[in-house]
């Protein structure tokens, strides 16, 4: 008995690991039924895999049987691998027992499509219902929507899940068509739109009647596989931007493609996943969501690719030296945010602290500004007088010479595929 469950867990956790979404944040579910669990907005990473990714949820597939054959997916029909399927009870008891031991924040449940979309979605629904209603579980639940499932099932699942997601898989329609001819972005757009409408509708109703249940309180997210198809960074981030705007997504995840097959449409086995590129995309995503950058400022026809050797904020600054130097002691917050070497935290502190007098270099350092980087772009109370105007390329080389960028050493990871 225990051997079989170990086997299933190994197969179905292994197959689910390529989904990068792991966040357990954004859901608040109070433990007011004397049950198990309590989720708060920030979420907790309970451990980290040896590749450095956080583990906060039990991330598994209900089954890796699938009737489809998407080339980028380990569970695809034509792949010769071991198959397994959990029963509803097994998923529930794994979740409860892991949670009781403080291993996890909750469950991330996804599935290959067996029989058809509704049959699969109905199973997923049974798991979450059992957890919430029978086990009084208040931990986090992220449910993968099965493309093509009926509105009713999706709607009901949304009453019990904290977050729902459905993956775009490839950044563009052409990319997707190439690797998964049966799928289209519309399969994703439809349920995303559906869920979003329900979110809005439930919110409205809750304003009037307090008893209306929460619907997908932590919102929706999606994922794109990067580097399997030849899209530019510009195409990727513009797609992300559109989806953020149209479906008010909480997150878009970018997953560097890890070769899993010898399919000649895809990078060959053994190709390193594009880790730096993935990292740069996340940085760009942050700049869009938290730093007030418009996607066009970072990626446009003149600059369709992110720099590999420097981060996107620095490269924007170097392309836009006309905005600098920024005077730390008078500039508006929004502008301070755009200075390389100054993060959200230090920008806030600067704006607070300068009310008490003009800030000097040593104070900026203490506040947490990466001064060696920032100094090329700022003026403060005791900035030394500078005769020379440096060019962007010169500043870049100063900064690169100083920073022992952890990525530079790993440069071999970044192989140009096309």
Partner 1 sequence: MVIYRIDGSLEGILCAVFEWFERKPGKIKLIDKKNYQPDAFSDTLEIFNDTKKADRVWKGLQKKLDKIWLRRCYCCFLSEQNEALNNLFEFICYVFSSPEGSTSNYGNTYVLAVAKMARKVEREKHRMEAFIRFQHSADGIFYCGIEPDFNVLPLILNHFQKRYADQRWIIYDLKRHYGLYYNLDLVEEIRMEISEERNLNKPSANRDSEKESLYSILWKDYFKSTNITSRKNTKLHLQHVPKRYWKYLTEKQLGS
Binding site for ligand SF4 (CB under 6 A): 66, 68, 70, 73, 75-76, 112-113
Radius of gyration over alpha carbons of the chain, in Å? 24
For ligand SF4, the closer CB: 170 or 347: 170
- What single-letter DSSP state applies at residue 356? G
| 82 makes contact with partner 1 (CB under 8 A) | no
Which token pair is 307?
A: 């720099």
| Residue 31 binds which entry of ligand SF4, partner 1, none, CB below 5-8 Å type-dependent | partner 1
CA distance linking residue 167 with residue 312, whole number of Å = 25
Helix (H) or strand (E) holding 96: helix 88-100
Nearer to partner 1, 147 or 217 (CB): 217
- For residues 274 and 414, the answer to whether their CB atoms sit within 8 Å is yes
Query: Which of ligand SF4, partner 1, none has residue 232 at its interface (CB below 5 to 8 Å by kind)?
Result: none
Helices (H) and strands (E) in the chain, counts: 15, 10
- Separation CA 303–CA 210 (nearest Å): 49
Stretch that binds partner 1, among 38-46, 224-232, 233-241, 297-305 (CB under 8 A): 38-46
Q: Which residues contact 192 (CB under 8 A, 6 or more apart)?
A: 166, 220, 222, 243, 247, 249
Residue owning tokens 């935290």: 345
Residue 359 interface partner, choices partner 1, ligand SF4, none, CB cut-off 5-8 Å depending on type: partner 1
53 near partner 1 (CB under 8 A): yes
Of these partners, ligand SF4, partner 1, none, which one is at the site of residue 13 (CB under 5 to 8 Å by kind)? partner 1
Nearer to partner 1, 100 or 305 (CB): 100
- Judged by CB under 8 A, does residue 51 bind partner 1? yes
106, 289, 353, 404: residue in contact with partner 1 (rule CB under 8 A): 353
Based on the shown chain and the rule CB under 8 A, indicate whether residue 46 belongs to the binding site for partner 1.
Answer: yes
- Angle in degrees, CA 397, 383, 347, rounded to 5: 80
Neighbours of 7 (CB within 10 A): 12
Given the rule CB under 8 A, which residues bind partner 1? 2, 5-6, 9-10, 13-14, 16-18, 30-31, 34-38, 44-55, 58-59, 94, 97-98, 100-103, 136, 258, 272-273, 275, 349, 352-353, 355-357, 359, 363, 366-367, 406
């Amino acid at each position: 008995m225990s051997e079989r469950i170990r086997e299933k867990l190994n197969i179905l956790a292994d197959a689910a690991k390529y989904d990068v979404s792991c966040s357990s944040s954004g859901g608040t579910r109070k433990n007011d039924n004397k049950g198990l669990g309590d989720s708060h907005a920030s979420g907790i990473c309970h451990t980290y895999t040896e590749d450095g990714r956080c583990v906060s949820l039990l991330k598994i597939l209900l089954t890796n049987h699938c009737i489809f054959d998407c080339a980028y997916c380990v569970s695809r029909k034509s792949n010769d691998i071991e198959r397994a399927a959990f029963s509803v009870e097994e998923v529930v008891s794994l979740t409860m027992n892991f949670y009781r031991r403080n291993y996890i924040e909750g469950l991330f449940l996804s599935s290959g499509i067996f029989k058809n979309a509704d049959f699969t979605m109905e199973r997923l629904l049974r798991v979450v219902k059992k957890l919430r209603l029978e086990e009084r579980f208040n931990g986090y639940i992220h449910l993968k929507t099965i493309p093509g499932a009926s509105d009713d099932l999706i709607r009901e699942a949304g009453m019990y899940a904290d977050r729902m997601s459905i993956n775009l898989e490839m950044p563009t329609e052409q990319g997707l068509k190439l690797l998964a001819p049966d799928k289209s972005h519309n399969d994703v757009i439809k349920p995303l739109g559906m869920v979003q409408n329900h979110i809005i509708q439930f919110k409205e109703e809750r304003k009037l009647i307090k008893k209306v249940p929460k619907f997908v309180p932590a919102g929706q997210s999606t994922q794109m596989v990067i580097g399997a198809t030849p899209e530019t960074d510009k195409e990727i981030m513009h797609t992300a931007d559109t989806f953020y705007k149209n479906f008010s997504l909480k997150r878009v995840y970018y997953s560097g493609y890890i070769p899993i097959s010898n399919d000649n449409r895809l990078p060959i086995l053994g190709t390193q996943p594009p880790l730096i590129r993935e990292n740069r995309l996340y940085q760009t995503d942050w700049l869009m969501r938290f730093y007030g950058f418009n996607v066009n400022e970072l990626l446009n026809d003149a600059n369709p690719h992110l720099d590999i050797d420097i981060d996107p904020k620095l490269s924007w600054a170097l392309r836009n030296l006309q905005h600098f130097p920024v005077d730390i002691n008078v500039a508006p917050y929004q502008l301070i945010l755009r200075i390389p070497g100054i993060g959200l935290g230090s920008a806030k502190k600067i704006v607070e602290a300068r009310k008490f007098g003009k800030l000097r270099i040593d104070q900026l350092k203490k506040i947490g500004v990466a001064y060696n980087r920032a100094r090329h772009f700022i003026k403060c109370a005791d900035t030394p007088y500078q005769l020379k105007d440096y060019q962007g390329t010169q500043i870049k080389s100063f900064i690169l010479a100083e920073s022992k960028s952890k990525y530079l050493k790993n440069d071999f990871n970044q192989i140009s595929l096309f």
